[in-house]
Amino acid sequence: GNDSATTGSGGGSGDNTITMGFSQVGAESGWRTANTKSVQDSAKTAGIELKFSDAQQKQENQIKAIRSYIQQKVDVIAFSPVVESGWDTVLKEAQNAKIPVILTDRAVDSKDTSLYKTFLGSDFVEEGKKAGQWLVEEYKDSTDTVNIVELQGTTGSAPANDRKAGFAEVIGSDPKFKIIASQTGDFTRAKGKEVMEAFLKSNPDIDVLYAHNDDMGLGAIEAIEGAGKVPGKDIKIITVDAVKDGMQALADGKINFIVECSPLLGPQLMDLAKKVVAGEQVPARVVTEETTFTQEQAKEALPTRQY
């Protein structure tokens, strides 16, 4: 491992306090704000000095933030890459500056995995598969065509790519399932509503909506109700995240199934950061523990939901 002279610990307050530079995607969804709170609260609890930036979902802002953390000689850099590609150059700059990098939440598609010490986050393919499995089960006794519309997450992001792939893999087992429209809603309520309005105009017979996060699903519910249809009944809805507002809609019967994606990555992130700065070995991949919720389970879980 590096001795203190070369790990950029000059960025700390001079004593052995670890300084972390964190580049957050943005504040696009309930999930994201819960994730930010988890990171900030956990840094305080861990005694880690946190430099935090919000990139407003723009990759160039994340690259700028990472470069500024390198200039400030922080001890460790952590970030959630808004999209999978285009990180090798700035990650090489961090590597040359001997500043370890931790990926959290979303992944990068860099071939050189030495560019980061570990990736802490959910298995998004698995999340897509869980959504597909619920649908297969829900329609197991029907042979009619099932018309599905899909609201994808941010174009090029790992959760959008993988939730789409996992879902398609599972429903692809039966030709009755047809994805008749699929478009990005950029993980936001506003865009989810806008795209769902367009889907409703051009597709009179939609049976199911698969939204890559609760926020787009909640926006779509407004569009569905605006079109005089009943969400959860006329159009069944599957979403991912299980944030409070999504769980409330699930309990109210407007959503039919939610695949959890936990934003509470802060404690594990700070633990990994301490190990990485100390030069200890850490697993290359740490997968988040998470489950799924039906309408009944949402009613039970809501009172104690942390986010």
Minimum Å distance from CB 16 to ligand GZL? 32
Based on the shown chain and the rule CB under 6 A, indicate whether residue 246 belongs to the binding site for ligand GZL: no
The least CB distance from residue 213 to ligand GZL, in Å, is 4
Q: Which residue intervals of the chain are DSSP H helices? A: 30-46, 59-71, 88-96, 124-138, 158-171, 189-202, 214-226, 244-251, 266-277, 295-301
Q: Whole-number minimum distance, CB 211 to ligand GZL, in Å?
A: 10
Q: Which of 22, 75, 81, 106 binds ligand GZL (CB under 6 A)?
A: 106
* Token couple for 186: 């950029």
Q: Which CB, 28 or 207, lies closer to ligand GZL?
A: 28
Site for ligand GZL contains 105 (CB under 6 A):
yes
What CA–CA distance (Å, rounded) separates 16 from 125?
A: 39
Describe the chain by its helix, strand, coil percentages, rounded to 5. Answer: 45, 20, 35
Among 122, 147, 268, 295, binds ligand GZL (CB under 6 A): 122
How many residues lie near ligand GZL (CB under 6 A)?
Answer: 15
Binding ligand GZL (rule: CB under 6 A), the pick from 69, 119, 187, 199 is 187
3-state class (DSSP) for residue 220? helix
Q: Do residues 104 and 121 lie in contact, with contact meaning Cβ atoms separated by under 8 Å?
A: yes
Query: Of 71 and 291, which has the nearer Cβ to ligand GZL?
Result: 291
Distance between CA atoms of 230 and 295, rounded to whole angstroms? 16
Element containing residue 238 per DSSP (H, E): strand 236-241
Binding pattern to ligand GZL, positions 14-53, x when CB under 6 A?
--------------xx-xx---------------------
User: Please, what is the minimum distance in Å from the beta carbon of residue 72 to ligand GZL?
Assistant: 26
Q: In terms of CB distance, is 32 or 207 closer to ligand GZL?
A: 32
Choice between 9 and 239, CB closer to ligand GZL: 239
Helix (H, G, I), strand (E, B) or coil at 271: helix
Compare residues 32 and 117 and give the one whose CB is closer to ligand GZL.
Answer: 32
User: Angle at which helices 244-251 and 214-226 pack, to 10 degrees?
Assistant: 40
Contact 77, 66 (CB under 8 A): yes
Phi and psi dihedrals of 289, rounded to 5?
Answer: -80, 130
- Complex with ligand GZL: residue 19 or 80, whichever CB lies closer: 80
Distance of closest approach, residue 103 Cβ to ligand GZL, in angstroms = 11
Instruction: Report how far residue 164's alpha carbon sits from residue 129's, in angstroms, rounded to the nearest whole number.
Output: 9
Which of 34, 107, 261, 276 forms a contact with ligand GZL (CB under 6 A)?
261
Binding site for ligand GZL (CB under 6 A): 28-29, 31-32, 105-106, 121-122, 159, 187, 213, 215, 240-241, 261
